[in-house]
A and B are shown apart, each in its own frame.
Chain A
């Protein structure tokens, strides 16, 4: 068992960057320095130190457990059994990808440094100004370089490498960050990982048939963009672009993203055609994009319900359900699902449904550690309206348990201090629980009166529906407010010859008839005023009494004028109106006609909540 690093271990590896098999690898023991997690997919980065040289590298994911258990520690020794050295473009250094390794010893007291003048290690000099180092071969090195101890083998190797014509593309390529791309600058190259790959879809339109697929690309900063390919380009790149791999891409085109279809936070989307270039990056290990989250506080999820954009959340896990098997309606497939309840500092809880792999792997992990109240950060969730608000994972959702982010730390300290004890409500229960009249519709498609007055051609093809909160501001007392209606079928009746009324629809005479409202009222809100047509049921709510009764009041001609009083009492009362807007020809002129389809009294508490959501929606879209 080695008790120290293998001398020149780094040099040995540099001289044989790609050993054919682990049998080819001699005894290499290095000290592990700067051991840290890359932040995704449980990979750990480190610096290998052999006492003389250091080399940055990455460890395989299968040693994660050894790192977490402490067998492989920072400042500890590790034997490398199988490795590959990769190039880093634009830099003369290499990157060590460890494929197989084992722990040798726990943390040493300090960084291993060989003594200067050690006869085994070759020529060692640490110089800061320009200098020349004579190698065994007597070749002077370039001046003005900070000289770090190098062995003869290393220096000769570097010289050879610098003369090679090979790395031309890597050297001359300049990578642009995704966030800097725009449609007006054509010559860019990006280095991205394919973080999501859609399936190839075929379509048929007026031009014929075609095929299309898209991918989600993420670069080093975490910026994401959607890239789409059609027909030839789709066929060309479908096999080339593999999920999880890193590519250099250039000569794509950008355009403003179609908000209807986008799932990724980017104003632009990219299209690749046959002229676009896609080249696999060979040193992907050195480039692992961080998962970028934009968390939505649980109590702000309301406005996102049934929206198209996916959200990210972070919260403390309160409850984990057992795995459920759900039968998919479309193809009768059985898929696993698990529900977890999470809470955050807004003191609201929400249920997140984990599907497929997430239900079985991460879900199980959360169930096992549920009593420790783990923190979970989830990216790309769909917001549904089950029980008010519900979250659901999609194909490319990412779940991180106890991430090392500042939000997680904040959440942990909030939970430990007060969150544990406080009682919390489900965010869905606060959302618009309201009473009659299709109350949900009173909060959907909400507009101001100005929406009607500024769009005179609203409802041109087919009637458009909206809800609006407004005050009744004027009812013309002299208008014909009602019509005589058949008691049975409510259709208009005509005065029969003799007495009574004749109904054309029922084909019979009736002694009496009922009066049904048909009137126009003016409504106002802070943005404007407009005339609404109202029929019997709705008008009754507005006036406060049936038409027959109002007629009675009208006929009472006394001082008090109860008719006028009744109308006056209906003024300046706020209502929630459900209206339909259509185009109506009147004297060969197209006019906007707004009809009341439903009326509900204003529930001020619910209305306030609605306004709060509108405020947070405005904030979110800024």
Chain B
């Protein structure tokens, strides 16, 4: 397992901190137009995900890719997370994993 470049849990607010790095985020799909997906992050802000989404997208998707802007990700891995997802908890996870418990994740 390659742990040299751990994937950072981000929401919209944290995304900007990790531009150029590998990040993962769960977004709620708002619009899908083939080339990019407009999604709502777990802290209720808009994120653009570029790349090739799979044919079927559920309401919530986890994307893993490189952060390439204050609110966009170039994704190369998409995972459907279904239609029921607790964004509050995920958002708290992002905050804790990048805050005081960062040493456990990065």
Contacts and interface: CB of A to CB of B under 8 A. Distances in A.
B17 interface: no
Interface in B13-47: none
A615 interface: yes
Interface in A418-460: 430
Contacts of A568: none
A609 B88 CA distance: 9
B89 A609 contact: yes
B89 A605 contact: yes
A608 B86 contact: yes
B96 interface: yes
Interface string A580-622: 0000000000000000000000001100110010010001000
Nearest to B44: A422
A609 B89 CA distance: 6
B96 A430 contact: no
Contacts of A430: 88
A608 B85 CA distance: 12
Nearest to B43: A347
Contacts of B89: 605, 608-609, 612
Interface in B50-106: 86, 88-89, 92, 96, 100
Task: Give the contact-size bracket for chain B.
Answer: under 10
B77 to A, nearest CB: 23
Contacts of B88: 430, 609
B100 to A, nearest CB: 8
Contact of B92 (A604, A612, A619): A612
Q: Looking at chain A's contact residues, is the secondary structure mostly helix, strand, loop, or mixed?
A: helix
A430 B86 CA distance: 11
Majority secondary structure of chain B interface residues (helix, strand, loop or mixed): helix
Nearest to A425: B88
A551 B7 CA distance: 50
Contacts of A619: 100
A316 B55 CA distance: 46
Q: How large is the interface on A (under 10, 10 to 19, 20 to 34, 35 or more residues)?
A: under 10
A605 B92 CA distance: 12
Contacts of B92: 612
A605 B96 contact: no
A608 B86 CA distance: 9
Contacts of B96: 615
A195 to B, nearest CB: 34
A612 B86 CA distance: 13
A612 B93 CA distance: 9
B30 to A, nearest CB: 17
A554 B89 CA distance: 43
A392 B46 CA distance: 38
A243 B96 CA distance: 44
A443 B92 CA distance: 20
A612 B97 CA distance: 12
A144 to B, nearest CB: 54
A16 to B, nearest CB: 61
Nearest to A430: B88
A615 B100 CA distance: 11
Nearest to B86: A605
Interface string A550-591: 000000000000000000000000000000000000000000
A203 to B, nearest CB: 45
A127 B100 CA distance: 57
B40 to A, nearest CB: 14
A460 to B, nearest CB: 38
A539 B86 CA distance: 30
A609 B87 CA distance: 11
A393 to B, nearest CB: 29
A608 B89 CA distance: 7
Contacts of A605: 86, 89
A608 B100 CA distance: 18
A185 to B, nearest CB: 35
A605 B89 CA distance: 7
Nearest to A422: B44
A430 B96 CA distance: 18
Contacts of A609: 86, 88-89
B105 to A, nearest CB: 14
A236 B88 CA distance: 56
A263 B89 CA distance: 32
A226 B96 CA distance: 36
Contacts of A615: 96
Nearest to A605: B86
Interface in A68-105: none
Interface in A277-302: none
A443 B86 CA distance: 18
A350 B86 CA distance: 21
A482 B64 CA distance: 51
Nearest to B88: A430
Nearest to B85: A605
A202 to B, nearest CB: 49
Contacts of B100: 619
B41 to A, nearest CB: 14
B90 to A, nearest CB: 9
A433 to B, nearest CB: 12
A605 B88 CA distance: 9
13 contacts: A430-B88, A604-B86, A605-B86, A605-B89, A608-B86, A608-B89, A609-B86, A609-B88, A609-B89, A612-B89, A612-B92, A615-B96, A619-B100
Given A605-B89, A608-B89, A619-B100, 10 more contacts: A430-B88, A604-B86, A605-B86, A608-B86, A609-B86, A609-B88, A609-B89, A612-B89, A612-B92, A615-B96
For the complex of A and B, list the 6 residue pairs with the smallest distance between their C-beta atoms, beginning with the closest: A605-B86, A608-B89, A612-B92, A609-B89, A608-B86, A605-B89
